[in-house]
Structure 1
Amino acid sequence: MRWTVHLDGGPMRVNHAAVCIDNKIYSFGGYYSSEEYKDWEPIPVHVLNTATLRWSAVNYKKNDVVPFQRYGHTTVAYGDKVYMWGGRNNSVACETLSCFDTKTLEWSAPAVSGMVPFAKDGHSACVIRNKMYIFGGFEYLTDTYSQIVHCLDLETMNWTLMDPTGAIPSHRDFHTAVSVGDRMYIFGGRGDLNSPYNSQEEVYCSQIFYLDTVTEKWMALNPRGTWPEGRRSHSAWLHNGFMYIFGGFNGNTRTHFNDLYRYSFKDNYWQFLNVKGAVPCKRRRQACLIYEDKVYLFGGTSPCPHQNIRPTDNLDDDPEKLIDNSDLHVLDYAPTLKTLSILTVLEHNLEHSWLPHDILLDIRAMTLPNRISRPFNQSG
């Protein structure tokens, strides 16, 4: 396992949502601090070709149901379609379901029935069989954190309010959820000592919970090993029987993270991983998607020193002095000899103009910045 690629110039986005369909990664919405945020603009969509590592803007068809720009929403992939729910702009939160067809590049607003959730952001979403499950988030109608589970049947478009029993996770937002078989696993997130209300006395949960969607029962786990510190706005993904956790932020310790942990579902065990390569800087609100044996991490916001920021600045002491990222990192679980050889050539700045054309193309893909945005520094 190794971090193999670091490219700048992709979409500069924070609190966006993304999915992987075939070999392409689609990113929806989000914001960046230097932009004058226009609440009712159509949501931007970008796509990453994982073979070439090139980003492009999606010129989708405009119609009356194109969703407005937002952040803190969720997206899930179901076949060739992407279902987006929740999120907010600076004026309102959203409770409308939107569907993006990656084949026709068209938006639709499917008619839904049942118990539609209150508008919220910071919730989680995952797909189990033919249903999308959402948990938690911050509800703006009630001004409270949530611990409620809703599921949407993606065939009938019927919403159901679930009433699970067991060790129900506390009210929270900006946690992560992954699906394993019939279970939804929850990690992290931000709550409040006076939950469900937001009294600004934040708490951060480091326990793992799972919901058995067949028995509709929550279970709290007590893993062995070294637990990650509680956090929010981190990323989680699955690979070969493990859940991986990267990055995030703890408001009580005023800490941003760029650590990597994995949890074994089989052994109920946490492990810290020290991975070589160009490790991404500390950040939160990024996106991480896995395709085959590679993880693609992009965007988010960081306290890390960039150009024009003095190395003596301790930005972790001022976690609100943030810099939005336009970079792309690749974590390769099984780097080939070819990839490792290219990394050696680049690390030692070796002459490579004589190499075969296909290798030169790979070197170009791994080193040439994208042109969606250009890096600059902006606190926000």
Structure 2
Amino acid sequence: MLRWTVHLRGGPDRAEHATVAVGSKVYAFGGHTVAGMAYMHNTGQSVTPTDAVNVSVFNTVSLRWMKLPLPLSSSASCVAEEGGGELPPPPDASASAAPPTATPPIAVAPPPVATAVAAAAPAPSRRWGHTAILIGGVAYLWGGYNYYTKEYYDALHAFDVDAHRWLRVQPKVSGAAPEARHQHSAAALADRGVMLVYGGRNRLTAFGLGEVARLDTRAMAWSRIDARGAPPAPPPPIAGSSHHPSAACVVGTRVLEFGGGGPARGGYSNAVRAFDADSNSWLTLGGGVGGVGSHRGPLPEAREGHSAFVHDGALYVFGGRDATQEFHDVWRFDPKGAWWKAVAPRGGGAGLGAGGGQGPAWRPSMCCCVVGDRVVLFGGYKGHSANMAADDLHILDLSPSLKTLSKMAVIRHGLKQQGLPHNVRWELAAMTTAG
């Protein structure tokens, strides 16, 4: 039984950010923040347009956030030394680091404080609507939009998650990069060292699924794929309109794509499409608006701005919105039988606010990462408001242990903790204290 086990407030506020999971940690890059939104809405908030994208790390063991002390500017002056860091060689598929298969144990001691690390390359500028994927210990960040400079980005950036530094990649990348854009989708075929990019929009163009950009991180080369079976390209964007990406997840050699769209682009979708990396073709699974084919079970409502993850070969979808409402439901899709099922995780666990470990409120544009048997969800817009980003974090436990259930019961019923071991009391405090 799925359970919401942790709800913490006080973390970094952001929406339309990008995340990767590395071991027991979640790295969050950039995104729309409260300060940035205040600047957009002329409230007098001071923001430097050339500030570097911020990087925050959530430790799922200590349940605490840490902001990395990276350069405050993305200008050339951020470079610590000529020559800088170099990209490490991608590992073999057999040596690829895999996330833990079980919930990592809670440490008794608090996490160490991060130390400053000199940047080996200029940090990318602040942005939102970008993507990040992980291949071989390197997070590749691509695309995005800077509201302050009105720039869309097409440069590739690489972040070493072990050394906590940006790496030089641009002189090494060959081939034509995809056209600059934001609100696109990206997926990693990590065992092949490949990143795929498709969809999204910029000021003049809305990109369809027919053209998929492929980055080979072993050769550091871009190439284009003319994908077969793609739906028609969407119409050009309308000034002032919004579009949030569909959610893309990898199952084997297929990239599963759910939903997406927008009111200015012919409506929203609740179809599941799959890009097959072996045949370079799109397949439609599960029917729905904007799709064909059959499915079993009730369909989730069409939406955009949702989050998705894969567990045990199934696709899970959370949240999102359409033109009139936000969602905070959870759906499970089995690609083998095209079977949809609404999932209702139980709550009432640890956390702040009414109800304890309740699931997130209605919202779009949050991020989620799978860490072992837990899913970390955080950020997003507070409802339809375009100037409020959430700072809370939720953990959905896909297979809660007896120990986790017992701690939830202690917190929910306000039981005395004096007789419990020190490490258990520390864990209970971490589960109920602002992050």
Give me the TM-score of the superposition, normalised by structure 2. Answer: 0.76
Query: Residue by residue, what CA displacement relative to the aligned partner does 1:217-260 show, whole Å, maximum 9, x if unpaired?
Result: 11112321111111111101010121000001112xx1111000
More divergent stretch after superposition (239-248 vs 29-38): 29-38
- The equivalent of 1:49 in structure 2 is 59
Alpha-carbon distance between aligned partners in 1 of 2:35 and 2:418, rounded to the nearest angstrom = 39
- Within the candidate set 113, 117, 124, 2:185 is matched to 124
SS at match of 2:427: helix
- The equivalent of 1:2 in structure 2 is 3
Q: 2:255 is aligned with what amino acid?
A: M
Alpha-carbon distance between aligned partners in 2 of 1:328 and 1:292, rounded to the nearest angstrom = 17
Alpha-carbon distance between aligned partners in 1 of 2:274 and 2:398, rounded to the nearest angstrom = 26
Residues 138 and 173, structure 1, Cα contact 8 Å, conserved in 2: no
Are 1:347 and 2:412 counterparts?
yes
Are 1:176 and 2:247 counterparts?
yes
- The equivalent of 1:258 in structure 2 is 328
How many residues align? The count is 345
SS at match of 2:329: strand
Alpha-carbon distance between aligned partners in 2 of 1:109 and 1:220, rounded to the nearest angstrom = 38
Q: 1:152 is aligned with what amino acid?
A: L
Alpha-carbon distance between aligned partners in 2 of 1:261 and 1:349, rounded to the nearest angstrom = 32
Residues 136 and 173, structure 1, Cα contact 8 Å, conserved in 2: no
Alpha-carbon distance between aligned partners in 2 of 1:294 and 1:189, rounded to the nearest angstrom = 25
- Within the candidate set 142, 164, 168, 1:105 is matched to 164
Shift of 1:139: 3.0
Identity of paired residues, percent?
35
Alpha-carbon distance between aligned partners in 2 of 1:39 and 1:62, rounded to the nearest angstrom = 19
- The equivalent of 2:13 in structure 1 is 12
Q: 1:181 is aligned with what amino acid?
A: G
SS at match of 1:255: coil
Residues 120 and 168, structure 2, Cα contact 8 Å, conserved in 1: no
Residues 199 and 206, structure 2, Cα contact 8 Å, conserved in 1: no
- Within the candidate set 128, 134, 138, 1:71 is matched to 128
- Within the candidate set 73, 78, 89, 2:146 is matched to 89
CA distance 1:294–1:170, change in 2 (3 Å)? farther
- The equivalent of 1:315 in structure 2 is none
- Within the candidate set 38, 47, 60, 2:48 is matched to 38
Alpha-carbon distance between aligned partners in 1 of 2:413 and 2:322, rounded to the nearest angstrom = 37
* Within-5 A mapping of 1:196-345: 200=264, 202-222=266-286, 223-251=295-323, 254-277=324-347, 278-303=358-383, 319-320=384-385, 323-345=388-410
Residues 270 and 300, structure 2, Cα contact 8 Å, conserved in 1: yes
Alpha-carbon distance between aligned partners in 1 of 2:310 and 2:232, rounded to the nearest angstrom = 21
Query: Residue by residue, what CA displacement relative to the aligned partner does 1:93-149 show, whole Å, maximum 9, x if unpaired?
Result: 100000001122211241211121000001111111211001100033x33343331
- The equivalent of 1:185 in structure 2 is 256
Q: 1:339 is aligned with what amino acid?
A: T
Query: Residue by residue, what CA displacement relative to the aligned partner does 1:156-181 show, whole Å, maximum 9, x if unpaired?
Result: 11111111112437547511111111
SS at match of 2:146: coil
Residues 248 and 258, structure 2, Cα contact 8 Å, conserved in 1: yes
Q: 1:22 is aligned with what amino acid?
A: G
Alpha-carbon distance between aligned partners in 1 of 2:338 and 2:54, rounded to the nearest angstrom = 40
CA distance 1:124–1:301, change in 2 (3 Å)? same
Residues 112 and 159, structure 1, Cα contact 8 Å, conserved in 2: yes
Shift of 1:63: 5.2
Alpha-carbon distance between aligned partners in 2 of 1:239 and 1:170, rounded to the nearest angstrom = 30
CA distance 1:169–1:2, change in 2 (3 Å)? farther
CA distance 1:347–1:322, change in 2 (3 Å)? farther
Query: Residue by residue, what CA displacement relative to the aligned partner does 1:177-232 show, whole Å, maximum 9, x if unpaired?
Result: 1111111111111156xxxxxxx355101111111111111111232111111111
Shift of 1:322: 6.0
SS at match of 2:303: coil
SS at match of 1:288: strand
Alpha-carbon distance between aligned partners in 1 of 2:152 and 2:230, rounded to the nearest angstrom = 29
SS at match of 1:364: helix
Residues 93 and 119, structure 1, Cα contact 8 Å, conserved in 2: yes
Residues 139 and 146, structure 1, Cα contact 8 Å, conserved in 2: no
More divergent stretch after superposition (349-358 vs 95-104): 349-358
Q: Which runs of 5+ in 2 are unaligned?
A: 40-46, 71-117, 235-242, 287-294, 348-357
CA distance 1:131–1:64, change in 2 (3 Å)? closer
Give me the TM-score of the superposition, normalised by structure 1. Answer: 0.87
More divergent stretch after superposition (30-39 vs 180-189): 30-39
- The equivalent of 1:143 in structure 2 is 205
Q: 1:51 is aligned with what amino acid?
A: V
Residues 130 and 183, structure 2, Cα contact 8 Å, conserved in 1: yes
Q: 1:6 is aligned with what amino acid?
A: H
Residues 146 and 173, structure 1, Cα contact 8 Å, conserved in 2: no
Q: 1:348 is aligned with what amino acid?
A: H
Q: 2:185 is aligned with what amino acid?
A: S
Shift of 1:42: 0.7
CA distance 1:154–1:64, change in 2 (3 Å)? closer
